[in-house]
Amino acid sequence: MSSERQQPWLNNVNRNLLILTALRILRRRRRAQIRTKKMWVHPLILERTSKGHFAVLYQDLRRYEDKFKQFCQLSIQSFDNLLAIVGDDLRKQDTIMCKSIAAEQRLLITLRFLATGESYTSLHLQFRVGKTTISRIVRCTCGVIWQKLQPIVMPSPTEETWLQVAAGFHDVANFPNCIGAVDGKHVRVQ
């Protein structure tokens, strides 16, 4: 008897499926081996409380208003006011595994990112916080700032607001029914 009669499940199609399945299993095992971490927390990050920007530079910067403003593009008073508004939402709870990052540090990291456009990798090395943690801090802090400041700084316009703007354009530029303008554009009106 031929081998195909003894084992009908080993035809060409089944053989190819078995080979593909075996290759997928091997590929998954290799990926799992690559993903294994060498250490739980990198030693650089462990030194955050003693050698990071926040630990070393923050208190010194607060003594010099001009240097603080250069560092995060905000005065100390504005920083403190902003922290008072968003601080409660930025504070996280300490756990048995690790101590949380302070609200001041979260705000400083975000302001530094927004002021300079530095990469997460650069901030990670300066503040000694993980890159993924940096990205989460920036995203979360920006969300909290928007949530808290949007109603104060950019309230939703009402019909009365639009009418006031239109009246202002009519008075100043003799341009009726205008509720806004684009800055820096020169449009010839005939």
Q: What is the pLDDT of residue 116?
A: 87
Q: What is the pLDDT of residue 77?
A: 92
Q: How many structural domains are present in the chain?
A: 3
Same domain, 88 and 18: no
CA distance 102 to 142: 16
Q: Closest Cα to residue 92, out of 100, 84, 80, 82?
A: 100
Query: Of 15-24, 59-68, 120-129, 135-144, which has the strongest mean pLDDT?
Result: 135-144
CA distance 38 to 86: 37
pTM, two decimals, is 0.63
pLDDT digits (tens, 9 = 90+) for 146-185: 999 988 888 888 889 889 989 988 998 888 888 887 776 6
Query: Of 41-45, 72-76, 177-181, which has the strongest mean pLDDT?
Result: 72-76
Same domain, 99 and 181: no
Instruction: Please give the average per-residue pLDDT across 39-67, as a whole number.
Output: 74
Distance in angstroms between the alpha carbons of the first and the last residue of the chain: 96
CA distance 24 to 63: 60
Same domain, 147 and 161: no
Domain residue limits at 179:
157-190
Same domain, 72 and 7: no
Same domain, 10 and 84: no
Burial letters for 137-163: b for 16+ Cβ neighbours within 10 Å, e otherwise? bbeebeebbeebeeeeeeeeeeeeeee
Same domain, 60 and 86: yes
Residues 6 or more apart whose Cβ sits within 8 Å of residue 131? 120, 121, 124
Question: What is the distance of C-alpha 101 from the center of its chain?
Answer: 15
